[in-house]
Amino acid sequence: MTKPIRLLVLGTGGMANTHVMHFSTISDVQIVAAVDLDIATVRAFATRHGIPNTFTSLEEAIAWGEFDAVTNVTPDRIHYPTTLQLLAAGKHVMCEKPLAENYAKADEMARAAETSGLVNMVNLTYRNVAEVQKARQMVIGGEIGQVRHIEASYLQSWLVSKAWGDWATESQWLWRLSTKHGSNGVLGDVGIHILDFAGFGAATDIDHIFARLKTFEKAPGNKIGEYDLDANDSFTMTTEFTNGAMGVIHASRWATGHLNELRLRVHGDKGALEVIHTPEGSSLRACLQDDVETAVWREIEVDPVETNYQKFITAIQTRNNLQEPGFRHAAELQKVLDLAMLTEVERREMAV
C-alpha cells in the first residue's frame, strides 16, 4: 500500500482554497497543516478545510517537521525565501507562479532544487488544459508541418469590470498594481502563463523578444492609499522562436468583454491549430489536410489529462524530480520576463 503524502499548505489566501480543493481529491494525500502569519486567518482556513494543525510562521512548521511536501501559495515576493527554507529542510515543493520576482532569484531556487534532488514544480495552471496538451502532441507529430507563425494572448477585464470584485477597494487586487508590493504587473502576473501556454502548446521556446509595456492612469496621481499604481497594465511582445517561427504575444487587464481568456494560434505550412480557454471551458480547432485549401476549421475532441496537483504527488511517490513544469523551466520563463522589461527601457530586441 502506498504511504500517504503529508502535505502542508503555506499561505491561506484565495488560491490556497483551490489548491486544497484539488489535493483533497487525491487519495494518497493527507493535508496535515496550514501556515499563515495571522492566527485568526489560518485557524479559520484550517477549520473550513478540516486541517488539523496550524502555525503562524514557517520556522514553527519546519521545527514540527511532520510533513513531506508543501504547496507554496504565498504572495510572489515570499516565494523565494520560503522555498529556499523548505528545500534546505528536505521538503518537496510545489510553488505558485511566478517562481520569483526576477531571474537571479528564480535561478538560485532552481539550482537549490537541482542540488537537493527533491521534487519541485511550479503551478502553471494552464498546463491542466487538455486542449493545449493535445495541440502540443499534434505539433510534435508533424500534423501542421513546419511552424511559421504563432499568436498568443491573455485577456482580462478586471480593471473595467467588477465581475471578480472592486479592484479600487480590495487589497487582493491593489497589490497586483503596485511594484513596491511585489508586483511586476500584468507581465509578471499572467505574462508567465501566456509565455508558457504559447511555448508549450507550439512545442518551442522563445529565442528573441522585443516588448512594450504600458501603465494607464487609474486614479488621481495613480495612487490609492498605500498603493502606488505603477505596475504595467498591458504588454505587447514580438518574438522569434527556436523553431524559426515568428510570433506575437500580448496581455492586458483592460480587455473589455474578456473576463479571463487565453488564446493560442499556431500556423504551420501544412495546417493550423487554435486553442481557446475561458472560465466556461476550452476548445481546440484545427485546419488540416484538404481543409487548408478552403480554410475550414473543425473541432477536435480531447480526453482529460492529469493535473499539476496529481503530477506533483505522483512525482514524489515515484521519486521523479524531473517532473514538469519544474523550477528550471519557470526560471527560464522569468528570464524572458526580465528581458521584456529591459527591452522596454532600451528599445531594442534581445536574445534570450
- Determine the length of the chain: 352
Q: Which residues contact 266 (CB under 8 A, 6 or more apart)?
A: 135, 139, 144, 147, 150, 201, 202, 272, 273, 274
**Residue-wise pLDDT tens digits, 73-91:** 998 889 999 999 999 999 9
Provide the sign of the torsion angle of the four alpha carbons 17, 99, 83, 315, taken in this order: positive
DSSP state of 289: T
DSSP state of 33: E
Ramachandran angles phi, psi of 80, nearest 5°: -60, -60
DSSP state of 169: T
Ramachandran angles phi, psi of 82, nearest 5°: -70, -40
| CATH architecture of the domain formed by 128-309+334-351 | 2-Layer Sandwich (3.30)
| Helix segments in the chain, DSSP class H | 14-24, 39-49, 58-64, 79-88, 103-116, 130-140, 171-174, 185-186, 192-201, 291-294, 308-318, 327-346
Q: What is the reported pLDDT for 216? A: 97
Closest CA to 35 of 88, 82, 99: 82
DSSP bridge partners of 284: 275
CATH 3.40.50.720 fits 5-125, yes or no: yes
Closest CA to 312 of 118, 135, 137: 118
CB 186 within 8 A of CB 233: yes
The amino acid at 227: Y
Ranges in the chain, pLDDT < 70: 1
Angle between helices 103-116 and 327-346 (to 10 degrees): 170
Per DSSP, the three-state class of 250 is: strand
CA distance 152 to 204: 13
**Residue-wise pLDDT tens digits, 182-201:** 888 999 889 999 999 999 99
Q: What is the reported pLDDT for 213? A: 96
Exposed (0-12), middle (13-18) or buried (19+): which is 58, by Cβ within 10 Å?
buried
Domain boundaries, the chain: 5-125, 128-309+334-351
DSSP state of 226: T
**Backbone dihedral region for residue 142 (phi beyond 0: left; psi -120 to 50: alpha; all else: beta):** left
